[in-house]
Amino acid sequence: MKYSFVTTWRLKTPLQSAWNAIYLSEQWPQWWYSVISVQEIEKGDEQGIGSIRIYKLRSPMLYTLSFHMQLTDRVEYKLLSGIATGDLVGTGSWQFEEDGEITTIRCYWDVTTSISWMNKLSFLLKPIFKLNHSIVMKQGGKCLARKLHAEIISLS
């Protein structure tokens, strides 16, 4: 089943701080409750292009997802994007904008699931999977704001 999500976090924080927190995803388990682990298994070039990290996430429904993410594009303080394989297959990106004291972070996620029970029950559970994603991402925005001592302007 295919899923497309767009999440937007608007925080009163410097762009560089937000960028670093997202880019250094191996540290996510220290501040983002749903992230169980992130392990880099391939370094990539000096910009990180080609690097591969394994992400393991816990959903509010108590199932876990594990996927590899290979960084394919990086524009400093603007864009991180990559290709996912594993339990989720597709593309994801983080986009960053700064307007005065407000940093806007957008996460785009276009994936399919490769877990058979999810695919078999998607006709019934797709709304719950969407809700799970929303909860995890809203929690991530709150956790990031706490980590950065930032004021939340909006999370959607």
124-137 confidence digits (pLDDT tens):
999 999 999 999 99
- Predicted confidence band of residue 52 (pLDDT cuts 50, 70, 90): very high
Determine the average pLDDT of the residues in 89-106: 98
Q: 2-155: which CATH topology?
A: Alpha-D-Glucose-1,6-Bisphosphate; Chain A, domain 4 (3.30.530)
Per-residue pLDDT, averaged over 113-120, amounts to 94
Residue 28 is predicted with a pLDDT of 98
pLDDT score for 1 = 85
Task: Tell me what the mean pLDDT of segment 31-38 comes to.
Answer: 97
Show Cβ contacts of residue 116 under 8 Å, excluding neighbours closer than 6 positions. none
Instruction: Calculate mean pLDDT across residues 12-18.
Output: 98
The DSSP annotation for 18-77 comes to HHHHHH-GGGHHHH-TTEEEEEEEE--STT-TT-EEEEEEE-TTS-EEEEEEEEEEEETT
